[in-house]
Structure 1
């Protein structure tokens, strides 16, 4: 299979940065052949008859392009390569090979390094150039682009459609949504565009404008293929999927509707080869508007914080809890001294709505809570022990990046399993492990797990009678058993030869 992937590296090869979160596992692409489709009598159904009269689209986008193209710019940045992560072919100057210090080869390449390796010392900054796109959102020179375009940037310049190059500075960035706000350092009256007041519908025409492969202003057209896409790039994914061709260098460029309003910020592509295959992703305008306004006002984004570890409600969980639908967010744990704990949320509660808006899943809950902001009150509808109740909570402020990462269910699972002397990985992430369960990736021979006969390569299928698919499922089940007063929990473990049950103490989890 080819290397099909989702990447937010829409930068050209000279400055592409590795995408931090890629789709796990392989994506199967199947070709359908030999399919005969018979024409249907469209006039027999009113809906089809009405659709048949709809125009196939505008005869030309030229008027819209003339209106918006002056606001779209090329963004060029000088990046400190020693701090950024590159995939090997992104840098215009390669680092010196890692020869032993003081050896003859190191001395040779230091002496003649300028002919192939830049002649730079290991401890000196290595600089690379990257290019992306952006667009003016105000006459005084504020510009929207992607965070991954300007991440670790030392110098930023923008080039307008008339070829003028202007220095710019970074006002603020938001890695969680991959957005950044710049401002040119020269005053002026710049052409600008506005965000759309309404979200586009699936099937609406869109126009992507940007700087693909560093070629300069380029326009492509297509339609909105889907909305609300979660591509695994961050906790607040809410992307438009478009089929307007976007390529490396389109990062940070705008996607317009047919009225010339910005409906999205081009961020990622699904690509087997590195180029466009008609599946692009843009940060939706309603997300971008609020983030950019926060960056303009405060230089950062303040998000609401509930303080819970959560997981989706799968059909199995819904059935075991007697729920009618597999919707909502299951509380694995309410953090100590968090807004959730103060409000009385407990492990095992299922949050079904926030301020009357239904919660589809754990990802949807995270977005809703974050969007409310710190110090805001929220009414949560929950299901506890089969009954529905409502509780009021005053949200806190989202911790910094490091602390937020420490609060994720998988981070908690890593810490908890370390106390048993083992580390876990989803079976789907380990080649040859199958599609169900959680693989024991490593075992401390002196740990509690090893004493119970658990070995590297074993697969945990169930904990407390519930199937598990992620390390956080294992710790959630152990935590629940401990909260219920149980001193041990029964795990079903598959070895190379057989399947057996292991009773593991709950006391190892804090």
Structure 2
């Protein structure tokens, strides 16, 4: 018993002894974050931080007009009696002032389709707001209010040193009750595959976030902005301690775009990535599962131009660990077009550094449909050549190529044969269709023929048929 007490006293006093003798076995461990060890420290207050940051968090009120669809509006008998009526809807959210001239960042879903926007500051001043930029892919929007005096702002925390377990404050207007502050910790970082954002790598927090908090600030203990609150995970509609915030790196990229470039570039790596699981890690000779394996490279895209190779394992981008394709997309999206991101890659059992330029996906995201003429089964249809840019916009695999049906005019030859939007034209007259040039050439050479063998892929199923013209 005495021996155990003595051993305990030695263990407890070991850090002090280490400092006195100069021997520091734990010197590599971070020493700047400590747990409160006294009643006085537990009773410390967040009030000084709150006083500094809350003036820069605003309430955002939006008004939109929607068509109230009556259940009988489409009925052939009662449609004249029950017509769709416009109805006003009001919604609320929060926002963060990031520039003293009156620039405010909030969520895109807070202001989507709004016909009127009003911003109320913490001191109850009200302003009409205009939209500078909205971006559905990141779920961010940038607003501006006209003011004759500089407004209080929240500074960005671009240090990148936020860690799981750090204390944070969430500030917003939950349920419209007024500005509210809640506290919690960072529960997780780089959460992907959640929410509405295409470039998501969210900060997860257990600070209470509720409807109305969207667009509000997530701040650290230095009173700086680390994220914009965007959504909660809830089955009841209230806070269950699982909230998500868009990291400040993406917030600043969107704001800088709104104030400068005006167009937010969708960076596209041009590589298909696969998370490294335990079995794959063993096969690759890794000490543990980490990184993302390059499985396929798109020709002449950013990855190909930079020299990335199939079989490379991307470990980090700009010094930040990468574990899946969503994480890589996020890191690329935080950079401006023309910048170069530094990739740390494992190749042939050694780490190499590769600079990858930030480029948009190749191709036209909104091409004009080609409309065939003449005597052929596609007369009356609109057809589009697929590209990574177009495919990403419509939600298709960016690596797919070929010609796809975008629509068909009513009572046209194409509509009569049953062509639908999304049909992929695989073969015509026994010849493969790789691009629009192939397709147009086949139609020209066989114009007027009566029987047209066609192969179409629809929702993953292949259909072969011989279409006859009369």
Shorter-chain TM-score: which interval?
Answer: 0.5 to 0.7
Cα drift, residue 52 of structure 1: 6.1
Distance 2:103 2:336 in 1: 24
Q: Which moved more, 1:53-62 or 1:246-255?
A: 53-62
Mark the CA change 1:162 to 1:343 in structure 2 (over 3 Å): closer, same or farther. Answer: closer
Contact 1:77/1:156 (8 A) holds in 2:
yes
Q: Secondary structure at the match of 1:296?
A: helix
Q: Secondary structure at the match of 1:411?
A: coil
Mark the CA change 1:274 to 1:192 in structure 2 (over 3 Å): closer, same or farther. Answer: same
Cα drift, residue 398 of structure 1: 4.4
Q: 1:102 aligns with which of 73, 76, 94?
A: 76
RMSD, aligned α-carbons: 4.0
Mark the CA change 1:268 to 1:161 in structure 2 (over 3 Å): closer, same or farther. Answer: same
Cα drift, residue 147 of structure 1: 1.4
**Structure 1 counterpart of 2:56:** 71
- TM-score scaled by length of structure 1: 0.60
Mark the CA change 1:357 to 1:336 in structure 2 (over 3 Å): closer, same or farther. Answer: same
Distance 1:60 1:355 in 2: 36
Cα drift, residue 129 of structure 1: 1.8
Structure 1 position 216 matched with structure 2 position 166: no
**Structure 2 counterpart of 1:250:** 213
Mark the CA change 1:100 to 1:52 in structure 2 (over 3 Å): closer, same or farther. Answer: closer
What are the Cα deviations for residues 240-299 of structure 1, in whole angstroms up to 9, with x where unaligned? 222221110010011222333222211111212110122211122233223322222223
Q: How does 1:180-199 map to 2 (within 5 A)?
A: 180-198=141-159, 199=161
Cα drift, residue 383 of structure 1: 5.3
Distance 1:333 1:255 in 2: 38
**Structure 2 counterpart of 1:232:** 194
Structure 1 position 153 matched with structure 2 position 103: no
Contact 1:305/1:373 (8 A) holds in 2:
no
Mark the CA change 1:404 to 1:309 in structure 2 (over 3 Å): closer, same or farther. Answer: farther
Contact 1:309/1:407 (8 A) holds in 2:
no
Distance 1:379 1:414 in 2: 24
Mark the CA change 1:158 to 1:318 in structure 2 (over 3 Å): closer, same or farther. Answer: same
Q: Secondary structure at the match of 1:153?
A: coil
Cα drift, residue 407 of structure 1: 5.0
Larger radius of gyration between Structure 1 and Structure 2: 2
Distance 1:204 1:357 in 2: 18
Mark the CA change 1:347 to 1:51 in structure 2 (over 3 Å): closer, same or farther. Answer: closer
Distance 1:315 1:413 in 2: 28
Distance 2:47 2:120 in 1: 22
Distance 1:60 1:102 in 2: 66
**Structure 2 counterpart of 1:206:** 168
**Structure 1 counterpart of 2:444:** none
Q: 1:366 aligns with which of 312, 321, 329?
A: 329
Q: How does 1:67-466 map to 2 (within 5 A)?
A: 67-81=52-66, 94-104=68-78, 106-110=79-83, 120=85, 127-198=88-159, 199-233=161-195, 234-321=197-284, 323-354=286-317, 359-377=322-340, 380=343, 382=345, 393-398=356-361, 403-404=388-389, 406-407=391-392, 411-412=396-397
Q: Secondary structure at the match of 1:369?
A: helix
Cα drift, residue 393 of structure 1: 4.6
Distance 2:347 2:222 in 1: 48
Cα drift, residue 306 of structure 1: 2.4
- TM-score scaled by length of structure 2: 0.64
Distance 2:350 2:15 in 1: 45
Distance 1:398 1:162 in 2: 45
Distance 1:383 1:60 in 2: 46
**Structure 1 counterpart of 2:419:** none
Q: Which moved more, 1:228-237 or 1:146-155?
A: 228-237
In structure 2, the gaps of 5 or more residues are: 1-7, 17-33, 367-387, 405-422, 427-461, 463-470
Cα drift, residue 133 of structure 1: 0.5
How many corresponding residue pairs? 359
